[in-house]
Structure 1
Amino acid sequence: MENTQESPLNVVIVPTPGMGHLIPLIEFANRLVNLHKFSVTFIIPNDGSPMELPKKLLLSQPEPISTIFLPPVSFDDLPEDARNETRIIQSLTRSLHFLRDEFKALVQSSTRVVAFVVDVFGIDAFDIAKEFGLEPYVFLATGFMLLSLIFELPKLDQIYSCEYRDLPEPIKLPGCVPFDGKDIPDPLQHRKDFVYQRTLQQCKDFPLAAGIIVNSFIDFEKGPFEALTEVSRGLPPVYPVGPLTRNGSDNEVEGFSDCLKWLDEQPSESVLYVCFGSGGTLSREQMNELALGLEMSGQRFLWVVKEPVETSANATFFGSKSVNDPVSYLPDGFLERTKEVGLVIPSWAPQVHVLSHGSTGGFLTHCGWNSTLEAIVHGVPLIAWPLYAEQKMNATLLKDDSNVAFKVNVNENGLVGREDIATYAKQLIEGDEGKLLRTRMRELKNAAKMALSPHGSSTNHLAKVAGIWKKKGIN
């Protein structure tokens, strides 16, 4: 029992599938360990998708961070075309009995569990925390704009009867820049669908959280933060603790020395980095337009290419599905014609190392929140090309509110055309507008650094949460 008293207080974290959820949670766990001396236990649902990368990442963490992997659940009853969000939600729902058993064993052991944290899809696990006398917290891997939508969705559902994409006027959430109804995440665009109904119910349950920890910072999203913290709204307390991003380990660079060497040889801020994240994919026609647009621009580029997919913009969300060499899908002669200015890398690149390199002058991105924050931390302006999830809302935030991005236009054929791509690239790297975006992004970079400094706003909010949990350990 004496050892129990000396052991660190423990925070249990339950992520749902997807590297976009897991990466910031691991960074959050490390800050809890390093700044506040907690231990952390991850309990990982298993949806049957490839686990090699999550396992490698989790098992490489320092000793105060441990992991319990739950048994896989079956999705044999789901149709082949079931949405990714259906699998994410069901991966947790169908694992609840496993989760409860593991959590019970943890609580009944010498582990001093004081906090229970789920991600945005984990609301169904609230009852497990309450059963064992803990208040559930939510970690939101995205920003305050999405959190505003979560709290307002039940209201929107009552006000409007049509699909949100058909709304004639922009949606104005408290404190947020207006955005078009079509920018609401795709799963919420089908109101009779299972995902919409489950998400709506989870949004109604969000106020039951004891607190919501957000991977953002006040100077980036001041308007929505202030609106969410108005006492009169009666919402749970929110704690901005971001930007929580990867540092970029030396292990990530293994096998990519040629990529970084190529960057070393390019002029300062001259390279456009093109990457659609771990989950984003393009159709073959769109991939062709992008290639020809980069060529037309005459700008230096580093492009992470994936095998095209015709049916989905997030086909690699649960892991890479490339069977063939993605480079083989590029237009004939493209590599030869652009070899003096461009470098094409199949499937993956050490993104943090690329964004932090002095030669990188812009980032064409899908606007996933992790990529967005990494760009801010390294001061790299953006071409916003959203594909799925809340990325269209993120793109609007980056263009219309933060003024750090161009946002692509999709033509009547559903494509971003090569001429537009060439214009965006040239403007961002060489143009006066690009210089303005770069200046604003550097200001955001400095604000992010301040937020994470020893007395910064995000560090202070993390300390508030940690203080609440430490009191649980005393009581």
Structure 2
Amino acid sequence: MEQKPHIAILPSPGMGHLIPLVELAKLLVLHHDFRVTCIIPIIGSPSKAIKEVLQSLPPTIEHVFLPPVSLEELEGQQPGIQISVTMTRSMPSFRDVLKSLVATTRLAALVFDVFSSDGLYVAKELNVSPYIFFGSNALVLSLFLHFPKLDESVSCEFRDLPEPVKLPGCIPIHGRDLVSPVQDRTTEWYKLFLRNTKRLRLAEGIMFNTFMELEGSAIKALEEEAEAGNLPLYPIGPIIQTGSTNQVDGSESESLKWLDNQPSGSVLFVCFGSGGTLSVDQMNELALGLEMSRQKFLWVVRSPNNESPSASYLSDQSHDKNPLAFLPKGFIERTKEQGLVVPSWAPQAQVLSHGSTGGFLSHCGWNSTLESIMQGIPLIAWPLYAEQRMNAVLLAEDLKVALRPNVNGKGLVDREEIAKVVKDLMVGEEGKKVQNRMKEVKIVAEKALSTNGSSTRTLSELATKWINHHDF
């Protein structure tokens, strides 16, 4: 049996779930001398992007793909439902892998995300300590932990509540801005969400991807409650994607070369994450709004989808053949001096760290938000699905590092509003304020990750606990 302490990691499907857990694995390997096995459930076959992430890992982080799950009968269902069903169907093969790790390694803990909570019962059965990695912030974690009680105390739909929901230590949130699954209480998705929130308190601890200096009052309120309920909480963020070893390919180098030729801080990066899609009408308004703003932009364009804003979340982006065909006629020609449009994907980390980038129009996925914070880039908050509306409220109203455009009566952000908000962020007084505030947040984020920083100390405390727990 190997001597080093070992951690098993179980991410649910989706790049946004895999990347922060893989980055956590790197920290445990580099700073605390653990070995890690990533156990990867898949729908169909693993995408090129997932394979690239796993192939770039150090040898002390191994990975095992579980047998693929078929979801043909769930075609068109919410990604959240598809993910939950995938995890449930993957449990027999997951149990076999975990059992083998228990027999051959000094397994200190299983770390899994909130969608993988089926794994909690397998861990308990095999006498492995289960820990949740919650990939979002303290505001959203607070909603999850309080949700079973909210479900009992609120009788109407949350979106119809006359007053905002007040979570301890957090900015009040209107029901319509709560996470997507709770927007219709009659659905299967709602029932799955409620089930997952009830399971959180069965773990031996919860790590979450934020830091004391960002959300101090929310974290303190959570910790006070957690102590009473004997549930240790570990704010260990910001954990973001670090240096992939991939070579820069054609589409990447085109973006970066174009940025090299733009003035410092002049470009707005427009990207809706690994899964966000706009409707046909909204894509049209965004194009015309960017053009009207006369500000420089680098826009990652994905084919529109009128059914769901999360339509791309579980799809392989390399299959999105010609998204540029959906842009308004003549748009690319008219804006060739003003902006660059790239299909499907751009090297986000490199774009955000580039000196020419001065703003980020984002879907407010938490991974993207933390990347923006670490580069000090102010935001235009454009939430689409999952917990992104809550993130947008946190960023625009509480932290004041983002501007948020208004939606019109048809549910669209129209071109005039887009042009106005883009100009406000890039060259307006309002933009200067959020830019300065974001610079302050960047400084405290770096401090949290420094040798003696709050998040570094918290992760060390947890690593020590895992090592001592098994007397390695």
For normalisation by structure 2, the TM-score amounts to 0.97
Give the secondary structure class of the aligned counterpart of 1:10: strand
Return the offset for 1:55.
2.2
Quote the residue 1:246 is aligned against: 241
Number of residues of Structure 1 aligned to a counterpart in Structure 2? 469
Quote the residue 1:93 is aligned against: 88
Return the offset for 1:273.
0.5
Return the offset for 1:323.
4.3
Return the offset for 1:272.
0.5
Alignment of 1:311-330 (within 5 A): 311-320=307-316, 323-330=320-327
Give the secondary structure class of the aligned counterpart of 2:437: helix
8 Å Cα contact 1:248/1:350 also seen in 2 = no
Give the secondary structure class of the aligned counterpart of 1:302: strand
**C-alpha distance in 2, partners of 1:85/1:456?**
35
Return the offset for 1:251.
2.3
Alignment of 1:215-254 (within 5 A): 215-231=209-225, 233-234=228-229, 236-249=231-244, 251=246, 253-254=248-249
**C-alpha distance in 2, partners of 1:298/1:101?**
58
Quote the residue 2:391 is aligned against: 394
Alignment of 1:364-443 (within 5 A): 364-443=361-440
Instruction: Give percent identity, aligned residues only.
Output: 53
8 Å Cα contact 1:9/1:114 also seen in 2 = yes
Q: 2:290 aligns with which of 284, 294, 306?
A: 294
Mapped pair 1:267 → 2:295:
no
Q: 1:304 aligns with which of 300, 325, 341?
A: 300
Give the secondary structure class of the aligned counterpart of 1:229: helix
Return the offset for 1:45.
1.2
Alignment of 1:41-120 (within 5 A): 41-48=37-44, 50-78=46-74, 80-109=75-104, 111-120=105-114
**C-alpha distance in 1, partners of 2:392/2:45?**
29
Q: 1:163 aligns with which of 142, 157, 169?
A: 157
Return the offset for 1:180.
1.0
Give the secondary structure class of the aligned counterpart of 1:253: coil
In 2 relative to 1, CA 82–461 (structure 1 residues): closer, same or farther, beyond 3 Å? same
Give the secondary structure class of the aligned counterpart of 2:127: coil
Alignment of 1:272-291 (within 5 A): 272-291=268-287
CA RMSD of superposed structures (Å): 1.4
**C-alpha distance in 2, partners of 1:194/1:442?**
42
Quote the residue 2:20 is aligned against: 24
Q: 1:210 aligns with which of 197, 204, 213?
A: 204
**C-alpha distance in 1, partners of 2:198/2:305?**
35
Mapped pair 1:153 → 2:147:
yes
**C-alpha distance in 1, partners of 2:271/2:449?**
26
**C-alpha distance in 1, partners of 2:332/2:459?**
47
In 2 relative to 1, CA 37–112 (structure 1 residues): closer, same or farther, beyond 3 Å? same
1:266-305 CA-to-partner distances (Å, cap 9, x unmatched) read 1111110000011000111101100000011010000001
Return the offset for 1:250.
5.7
Mapped pair 1:185 → 2:182:
no
1:331-380 CA-to-partner distances (Å, cap 9, x unmatched) read 11111111111111111000011100111110000000110000000000
In 2 relative to 1, CA 146–252 (structure 1 residues): closer, same or farther, beyond 3 Å? farther
**C-alpha distance in 2, partners of 1:439/1:144?**
23
**C-alpha distance in 2, partners of 1:288/1:307?**
12
Give the secondary structure class of the aligned counterpart of 2:341: strand
Quote the residue 2:453 is aligned against: 456
Deviates more, 1:416-425 or 1:56-65: 56-65
Return the offset for 1:306.
0.7
**C-alpha distance in 2, partners of 1:427/1:94?**
49
Quote the residue 1:141 is aligned against: 135
**C-alpha distance in 2, partners of 1:81/1:259?**
33
Return the offset for 1:47.
2.2
Return the offset for 1:44.
1.0
Quote the residue 1:8 is aligned against: 4
**C-alpha distance in 1, partners of 2:112/2:274?**
22
1:97-138 CA-to-partner distances (Å, cap 9, x unmatched) read 1111111111112x1111111101122211211122222100
8 Å Cα contact 2:280/2:305 also seen in 1 = yes
**C-alpha distance in 1, partners of 2:140/2:331?**
39
In 2 relative to 1, CA 55–320 (structure 1 residues): closer, same or farther, beyond 3 Å? closer
1:47-106 CA-to-partner distances (Å, cap 9, x unmatched) read 22643321221132100000111101232443x332111111111111111111111111
In 2 relative to 1, CA 250–44 (structure 1 residues): closer, same or farther, beyond 3 Å? closer
Give the secondary structure class of the aligned counterpart of 2:21: helix
Give the secondary structure class of the aligned counterpart of 1:287: helix
Segments of structure 2 that go 5 or more residues without pairing to the other structure are none
8 Å Cα contact 1:49/1:319 also seen in 2 = no
Quote the residue 2:119 is aligned against: 125
Return the offset for 1:155.
1.2
